[in-house]
Structure 1
Amino acid sequence: MKDLSWKTLSSEYLFKDTWFTLRSDTCETRDGRIIKPYYVYEFPTWVIAVALTADGKFILERQYRHALGVTNLELPGGCVDPTDPTLESALRRELAEETGYSFDTVEYIGKTSANPSTNNNWAHFYLATGGRKEQEQHLDFNEEIEVYLYSADELKQLLRENGIVQSMHVTALLYALTRLGLLQW
């Protein structure tokens, strides 16, 4: 296969903040074309859980998302902090903070990019099983999260009705439902 990668000639940071950084790259294609500017959004690595309680219920979160102005259902997860020793530990921390649950087993099931043409990060998916409520939520200052439990049939109906709009969460559910044998191709 032909190598289609570009060479980065220079980068300039236009904006830097905790959760979002914007840079402008000057790139050269394999055939010598110069692409300028090429904007790249830098985000932290994300972890997302398809989490099941010990009795097999799927844990979903309901929260407001300002960019779209919607309150919707999502999966638990968040950003990997610099202090998290591993992706799994970041996921377990996010699960405890957002839902109050801890889990017997956490299995890596894949990753995706929200938009590889502009975003530089990955979203890593996990299947967490054997969940038990062990604490109250410890939410960030900007979070207000309601936790709901869904059966597999209720979850699949929710997906059929476009009840989960976050595309990476839909992808994580696709991976997890397939892994659990609840979705066949």
Structure 2
Amino acid sequence: MRYKHIKKEKVFENKHFAIYEEDLILPNGNQVRWTFLQNYIAVGVIAFTPEGKLLLVKQYRPALKQEIIEIPAGLVDPDEDVEKAAMRELEEETGYRANKMIKVCEYFRSPGLSSSKMFIYMAEDLVKTNQNLDEDEFLEVLEVDVKEIDEILKTPLDGKTLYALSYIKSNLKK
């Protein structure tokens, strides 16, 4: 099954993503125009305080018009190492520095609409430092007992957090 890529045009770009329209010829010979997001990589971090509390953040998401609970996460800067971005985001958002990161998984966030990729890391050997939020970032750090995961799973979550909480339930001793 072959797709033929005819023409691709950037129709919008900001500091977070670009939107493209591309003309394709499908395997059946039909020509279509496809619109998609491209070229951003994000990281999410599963982290526990030295006391064994799971670090989560609660923040308002304008697209949803509500606050949701998430794992610490953010975008990877151009030419930035993904693991270093995970370390940076964890410290910026929570005020904890990890001395070690272990890659848990990587996945495409929504491959029908986007080429964006998410990497999930497990942070180890955390040290308390200082939170250093971006100028446009407002969030509350939560330190959660693992026993609370089942209740959090009943709330609306984003994909990375759903994956992370499910991973914790399946792989870590309580």
TM-score by length of 1: 0.86
- Alignment of 1:149 with 2:149, yes or no, is no
Kindly provide the CA deviation profile for residues 38-88 of structure 1, in whole angstroms up to 9, marking residues without a partner as x.
Answer: 00112510000111112221001011111111012111010000252x211
Q: Distance in 1 between matches of 2:139 and 2:6?
A: 43
Q: Distance in 1 between matches of 2:12 and 2:60?
A: 26
Q: Secondary structure at the match of 1:91?
A: helix
Percent identical across equivalent pairs?
28
Quick check: 1:52–1:58 contact (8 Å CA) kept in 2?
A: yes
The 5 Å alignment of 1:5-44 reads 5-35=2-32, 37-44=33-40
Quick check: 1:113–1:123 contact (8 Å CA) kept in 2?
A: yes
Note the C-alpha offset of 1:181: 4.6
Question: 148, 169, 172: which one pairs with 2:161?
Answer: 169
The 5 Å alignment of 1:106-121 reads 106-121=101-116
Kindly provide the CA deviation profile for residues 79-103 of structure 1, in whole angstroms up to 9, marking residues without a partner as x.
Answer: 000252x211000001111111012
Question: 123, 143, 157: which one pairs with 1:128?
Answer: 123
Quick check: 1:112–1:168 contact (8 Å CA) kept in 2?
A: no
Note the C-alpha offset of 1:30: 2.5
Paired AA for residue 75 in structure 1? I
Distance 1:5 1:169, change over 3 A: farther
Look up the match of 1:46: 42
Q: Distance in 1 between matches of 2:107 and 2:165?
A: 12
Distance 1:83 1:43, change over 3 A: closer
Q: Secondary structure at the match of 2:93?
A: helix
Q: Distance in 2 between matches of 1:104 and 1:63?
A: 26
Q: Secondary structure at the match of 2:167?
A: helix
Note the C-alpha offset of 1:158: 1.5
Note the C-alpha offset of 1:131: 2.0
TM-score by length of 2: 0.91
Kindly provide the CA deviation profile for residues 95-142 of structure 1, in whole angstroms up to 9, marking residues without a partner as x.
Answer: 11111101233111112222110111111111112322112x111111
Look up the match of 2:58: 62
Q: Distance in 1 between matches of 2:74 and 2:84?
A: 12
Query: What stretches of structure 2 of length at least 5 have no aligned partner?
Result: none
Quick check: 2:149–2:165 contact (8 Å CA) kept in 1?
A: no
Distance 1:174 1:30, change over 3 A: same
Alignment RMSD (CA, Å): 1.7
Q: Distance in 1 between matches of 2:116 and 2:89?
A: 18
Paired AA for residue 64 in structure 1? Y
Q: Secondary structure at the match of 1:104?
A: strand
Distance 1:68 1:43, change over 3 A: farther
Q: Distance in 1 between matches of 2:24 and 2:165?
A: 36
